[in-house]
Amino acid sequence: MPPPIVECVPNFSEGRRPDVLDALAAGIRGPGVRLLDVSADPDHNRAVFTFVGEGEALLEAAFRSAAIAVERIDLRAHQGVHPRIGAVDVIPFVPLAGGSMPACVKLARRLGALLADRLGLPVYLYGEAAIRPRTLVEIRRGEFEGLQTAIAKPDRHPDFGPARIHPSAGAVAVGARGVLIAFNVNLNTADVAAARAIARAVRASSGGLPAVQAMGVPLRSRGLAQVSMNLLDYHVTSPLAALGRVEEEAARRGIGVVESELVGCAPREALPSDPVTALRLRALRPEQILDPAALR
């Protein structure tokens, strides 16, 4: 029987320095690991790395890249539109072909303990790996700057590591979850207030589409505003459905859609037959399309 395949999708607080991104990629590559995609954005100042492999090799690759992030990324000098608490902000493990959620939970908790013990990072567990009932949104509240004092409060103590923030690398959230699709829609306006209003209308917490998180952010390098979304269950809300709702809400405000962006990877079955045209994608690399059976 082929070994189970697990996906790891660390998000690093760096989207502008190619040399740092190259170093992170080099840290991930190794026996038993396949780096599928790197998506980086200068406005978010964030990079999403997607790699797959077997459990032990995956854990080691995640740790190596986190150590490089701690060494090379200083949040005291970091600015970007995406919320973040750490140089390596979040590390989720995702079961794919033959992988199981319990195995991903074990990987997440083992990695969390290593990051605390060897790198001195405060570690928060989330998703299926959570020990305390708190969400990623709650963990990130106040971001790096606010967490410097909030971490001392009992309800904000990390699950592993010291109850004090790492001075330059912050903290990290490590978790286990199902497949998540990061999908952004760029508007033909620089009006961030309009993007935020559209995001409010789209996201589940405000009564919008189920299993959708959304925020409106500025893309200053392009003179646009963006509705940035996480699709937590593409079986419930697909990228095509999310785009349609954003287009509707934008049109109500006299705003058009320029293009969309897929950040990282998405399963083939989550995408329409002609995703570039149907989703108005800015670009789509073949390696962004996940076919779990082909990864074995």
Catalytically active residues are 82
3-state SS, one letter per residue, for 209-226: CCCEEEEEEEECCCCEEE
- Sequence-ordered list of residues with C-beta below 8 angstroms from that of 93, at least 6 positions apart, any chain: 6, 7, 8, 58, 104, 105, 107, 108, 111, 129, 175, 176, 177
DSSP letter string, 51-96: EEE-HHHHHHHHHHHHHHHHHH--GGG---SS--SBSEEEEEEEE-
Could you count the other beta carbons within 10 Å of the beta carbon of residue 165? 24
Q: And the tokens for 220?
A: 């200053």
Q: What distance in Å separates the CA atoms of residue 204 and residue 198, rounded to the nearest whole number?
A: 12
Which residues, other chains included, contact 179 with Cβ-Cβ below 8 Å and sequence gap of 6+? 7, 94, 234, 266, 267, 270, 290
Structural tokens at position 160: 């592993």
